[in-house]
Amino acid sequence: MALLATEDVIVRFGGLRALSEASIDVDPGRVTGLIGPNGAGKTTLFNVITGLQDPDGGRVVLDGVNITRYSPFRRARMGISRTFQKLEAFTSLSARDNVLVAAEQRKAWDRSSFSPAAVADELLERVGIVDVAHYMVGTLPTGTARLVELARALALNETAAFDDVLRRVVDERGCAVLLVEHDMSLVMGTCETIYVLEFGQMIAVGTPDEVQASKAVQAAYLGSAAVGA
């Protein structure tokens, strides 16, 4: 059973149908990919999932609960989070302080007993950035700063994305991860199931091999050169 699912989601912007009955299943302990050309509707679907966009039809289900009308804050407390193409870390704070702030935010609503400082230190080690813990995030390379984002998301008991770190996190925690990414080597090497959007419609779903072999996907997005990559 999927931990997270969208069911026949429709979003209209005026006369434009940005999403047309978009359905996906995101299973626990697995990384599910969502790809498509620019303007396909990926960000819109993500916004529906996280509560930033109300759908005109369909619903979002988390662990069997219809959360379609829940606020973004309530969804975050239930365990939904995201990272962005634009870095969302506090650039004027250190890597450790970024993670610590997130852990302290979680402390405000999480009834379990834990030390925010201990959580921050454990997550910095887990994602492999202990050696830059006291560097300002604004001075870090983009890839390293994204690992800070990942640690922050995990500090909130939420999750996001990234290759071997992502795989390890998924394996250890049983998280359900939806990865939206243009890097095909990352998507094909990390995701067990991939959904492909074009003009708001799902045109394919399957394993990496099945998606790469799809003529519709090749025409819409990957191109013939991507086959066998």
Least Cα distance to 10 among 34, 43, 38, 45 occurs for 45
Per-residue confidence band for 227, with pLDDT thresholds at 50, 70 and 90: very low
pLDDT given for residue 223 in this prediction:
54
pLDDT digits (tens, 9 = 90+) for 31-48: 899 998 888 899 999 999
Q: Which bin fits 161, alpha (ψ -120 to 50), beta or left (φ > 0)? A: beta
Q: For 205, list phi and psi in degrees, rounded to 5.
A: -150, 140
Q: Any idea which residue has 């379609």 for tokens?
A: 68
Pair 145, 137: CB distance under 8 Å = yes
pLDDT value at 163 more than 70: no
Per-residue burial over 69-107, b = 16 or more CB atoms within 10 Å of its CB, e = otherwise? ebeeeebbbebbbbbeeebbbbeebbbbbbbbbbbeebb
pLDDT computed for residue 155 by the predictor? 81
Residue pLDDT, tens place only, 175-221? 788 888 777 777 888 899 999 999 999 999 999 999 988 988 888 76
Q: Do the beta carbons of residue 149 and residue 88 sit within 8 Å?
A: yes
d(CA 34, CA 55): 18
pLDDT in tens, 104-120: 888 777 777 889 999 99
Q: What is the mean pLDDT of the chain?
A: 84
Which of the 8 DSSP states describes residue 135?
A: S
Residues 6+ apart with CB under 8 A from 149: 83, 87, 88, 89, 160
Domains within the chain, CATH numbers bracketed: 1-81+170-229 (3.40.50.300), 82-157 (no CATH)
Mean pLDDT value across residues 15-22: 93
Rounded-to-integer distance, Cα 42 and Cα 47, Å: 9
Helix (H, G, I), strand (E, B) or coil at 20: strand
The reported pLDDT for the residue numbered 226 is 43
Which uninterrupted H or E stretch holds 172? Answer: helix 163-173
Which pLDDT does position 61 carry in this prediction?
Answer: 96
Lowest mean pLDDT: which of 45-49, 138-142, 166-170?
Answer: 166-170
**Residues in Cβ contact with 141 at an 8 Å cutoff, skipping those fewer than 6 apart:** none
Task: Quote the pLDDT of residue 88.
Answer: 67
